[in-house]
Amino acid sequence: MHEEENETEPLELHMVDISGKRMTHRSAIAEGCLRMQAETLAAIRAHRVPKGDPLAVAEVAGVMAAKQTPQWIPLAHPIPLTHVGLHFEFDEPHAALQIRAEATADYATGVEMEALCAVTAAALAIYDMCKGIDKTMVLDRVHLVEKHGGKSGDFFFPEEMRG
């Protein structure tokens, strides 16, 4: 518990009631970066990771995580996803793997958390597959790139915040 100078009543936790919201098409894209040793990135590209293909495992892990988001995020709604896709891009100059996930649904609440969970789980799966050859991997810059649909409309990650 956090101690505050001015004690106040704790906020009550609750799942947002979406029963009055319209069913609309929702989509979200999230991305993250998994930095590693150059040799590790080369091993992934050349299919020389002893455990097998980290990208194949990461793709399945990302889809599974998106589908199980309420298991990760306590107040998240279970959402009937219509699509989850993952894309991996090698960034040799920075010894990194860029991970991008897109989630879509026709539902009454957004799919941002599903896309973010997909990226995170994909990165963790790659870490697990490669930790025997590189324990220095770092997952960073996980963020929402864009989202569409819903009452709050479209969102695009600000260009000036891109790293």
Residues recognised as catalytic: 128
Q: Which helix (H) or strand (E) holds 83?
A: strand 81-91
Q: Name, in order, each residue with C-beta under 8 angstroms of 127's C-beta and a sequence gap of 6 or more.
A: 34, 137, 139
Token digits for 92? 């040799």
Q: 133-149 in b/e burial notation, b at 16+ Cβ within 10 A?
A: bbeebebebbebbbbbb
